[in-house]
């Protein structure tokens, strides 16, 4: 099976990390076409996955774009669409991994007469996308996609509620190699020393810095926790959200938390950093399509507090393998953090159960076998 994967991003986000795992089994019979250069290309090359930058022109359309902006971008995309269609004729199918990839892949599939698969990593809701973008995504998927793979029941349901066809969509959660999250105690101790946090209760937040990811909720909750509690924010701004980062720094200063919040920026040692934490916080203010960091925290054997919405509710069972709190409620978040700090043994028992359930439910080989089955069935129709 020869697959042409398409992705809009030059930087690795959740959708891109998922794509690496999906493409690995096809590395000798695939190509990943990117719409931007960046560190994601390097990650693909490190995994020996063929990759090509298909355009260096930024696609001027955003999640909140209007109809006129969307139409204007279509003209800009024509050379890219023609290029993708030409390349696609050498492959069995086109696999669009993002929404902009869907726009290009849909028309290219029509021209090249190759089936289109769309991997839906988003919740198509007003909180995340403009009405125009939701309409475009659903219309193109309904018209051109032979198969849609949703990353959660929440993503599938939002697609259907937005007018998407129910009979062409399957669910495949993100897959993980649990071996990557087994970090030695010596490595953990060294990292905590490097951070200067040896004797602290470390709360980790792993996400790009963005208002809807809710780092400000965690900072406000931290002010209601004991002095020994500290926060590390791993990630940085994308998509023009630098103003939010300034607001976070100002919030930290105003609350007198300058020595209790560390901004670490983008890092490649996520399993190590998570393992160095005592607790992982997920604080999205709107429903998360899936929640990779939740599973990663569980695989590291760490207790996870997640926002009670979207895909997170399919991963975490409150009080059994993690904690769920109402989004946008720093007071409730602070109460659970304090509970975890006070009930160390009970919390660690829960974290151990979380790791067992994450390994059982999200094994990358099992997930990839499911996806491979979907693709084989598509090509046999």
| CATH code for position 199 | 3.40.50.2000
When divided into structural domains, the chain yields a total of 2
Q: What is the pLDDT of residue 63?
A: 52
Residues 286 and 170 in one domain: no
Distance CA 96, CA 93 (A): 10
What tokens does 339 get?
A: 């509970």
- Terminal C-alpha separation, the chain: 14
Q: What is the pLDDT of residue 60?
A: 56
pTM of the model: 0.89
Residues 48 and 107 in one domain: yes
Query: How many C-beta atoms lie closer than 10 Å to residue 194's C-beta?
Result: 10
Q: What percent of the chain has pLDDT over 90?
A: 87
Residues 191 and 232 in one domain: yes
Residues 340 and 367 in one domain: no
Residues 196 and 307 in one domain: yes
CB 197 within 8 A of CB 314: no
CA distances to 13, 36, 124 from 180, rounded to whole Å, are 18, 28, 31
Residues 121 and 230 in one domain: no
Q: What is the pLDDT of residue 319?
A: 95
User: HSE on the CB side for 2, CA within 13 Å?
Assistant: 9
For the ranges 51-60, 78-87, 207-216, the lowest mean pLDDT is seen at: 51-60
Nearest to 174 by CA among 338, 18, 337: 18
Burial (CB count within 10 angstroms: exposed 0-12, middle 13-18, buried 19+), residue 46: exposed
pLDDT exceeds 90 at position 248: yes
Edge-to-edge strands, sheet with 145-150: 51-53, 30-34, 3-7, 93-96, 116-120, 145-150, 169-171
pLDDT exceeds 50 at position 369: yes
Q: What is the pLDDT of residue 97?
A: 97
Residues 202 and 282 in one domain: yes
Q: What is the pLDDT of residue 131?
A: 87
Q: What is the pLDDT of residue 316?
A: 96
Mean pLDDT to the nearest integer, 164-185 = 96
Burial (CB count within 10 angstroms: exposed 0-12, middle 13-18, buried 19+), residue 185: exposed
User: HSE on the CB side for 89, CA within 13 Å?
Assistant: 7
Residues 216 and 299 in one domain: yes
pLDDT exceeds 70 at position 357: yes
User: HSE on the CB side for 173, CA within 13 Å?
Assistant: 22
If you average pLDDT over every residue of the chain, what do you get? Answer: 93
Task: Note down the domain range covering 121.
Answer: 3-175+363-380
Q: How confident is the model at residue 220 (pLDDT cuts 50, 70, 90)?
A: very high
* Residue 173 Cα to chain centre, angstroms: 11
Q: Helix or strand or coil: residue 219? A: helix
Residues 354 and 367 in one domain: no
Q: How confident is the model at residue 67 (pLDDT cuts 50, 70, 90)?
A: very low
Distance CA 210, CA 242 (A): 9
Residues 370 and 354 in one domain: no
pLDDT exceeds 60 at position 45: yes
**What are the residues whose beta carbons fall under 8 Å from the beta carbon of 14, sequence distance 6 or more?**
121, 174, 290, 292
Residues 227 and 301 in one domain: yes
> Residues 273-300: pLDDT tens digits?
999 999 999 999 999 999 999 999 999 9
């Amino acid at each position: 099976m020869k697959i042409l994967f398409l992705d809009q991003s030059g930087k690795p986000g959740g959708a891109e990390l998922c794509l690496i795992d999906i493409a690995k089994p096809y590395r000798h019979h695939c190509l990943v076409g990117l719409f931007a250069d960046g560190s994601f290309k390097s990650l693909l090359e490190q995994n020996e996955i063929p990759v090509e930058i298909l355009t260096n022109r930024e696609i001027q359309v955003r999640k909140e774009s209007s109809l006129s902006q969307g139409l204007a971008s279509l003209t800009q995309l024509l050379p890219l669409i023609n290029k993708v269609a030409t390349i696609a004729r050498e492959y069995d199918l086109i696999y669009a991994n993002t929404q902009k990839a869907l726009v290009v892949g849909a028309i290219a599939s029509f021209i090249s007469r190759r089936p289109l698969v769309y991997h839906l990593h988003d919740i198509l809701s007003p909180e995340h996308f403009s009405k125009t973008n939701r309409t475009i995504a659903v219309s193109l998927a309904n018209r051109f996609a032979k198969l849609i793979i949703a990353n959660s029941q929440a993503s599938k349901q939002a697609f259907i509620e937005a007018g998407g066809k129910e009979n062409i969509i399957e669910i495949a959660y993100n897959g993980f190699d649990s071996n990557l999250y087994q970090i030695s105690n010596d490595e953990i101790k060294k990292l905590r020393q490097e951070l200067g946090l040896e004797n602290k209760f470390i709360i980790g937040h792993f996400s790009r810095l963005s208002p809807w990811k809710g780092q400000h909720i965690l900072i406000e909750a931290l002010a209601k926790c004991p002095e020994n509690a500290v926060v590390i924010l791993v990630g940085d701004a994308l998509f023009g959200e630098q103003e939010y980062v300034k607001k976070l720094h100002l919030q930290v200063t105003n609350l007198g938390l300058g020595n209790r919040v560390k901004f670490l920026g983008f890092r490649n040692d996520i399993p190590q950093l998570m393992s160095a934490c005592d607790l992982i916080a997920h604080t999205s203010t709107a429903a998360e399509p899936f929640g990779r960091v939740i599973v990663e925290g569980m695989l590291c054997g760490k207790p996870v507090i997640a926002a009670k919405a979207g895909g997170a509710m399919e991963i975490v069972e409150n009080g059994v393998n993690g904690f769920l709190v109402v989004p946008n409620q720093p007071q409730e978040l602070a109460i659970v953090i304090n509970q975890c700090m006070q009930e160390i043994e009970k919390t660690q028992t829960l974290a151990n159960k979380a790791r067992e359930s994450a390994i059982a439910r999200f094994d990358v080989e099992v997930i990839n076998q499911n996806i491979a089955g979907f693709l084989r069935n598509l090509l046999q129709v």
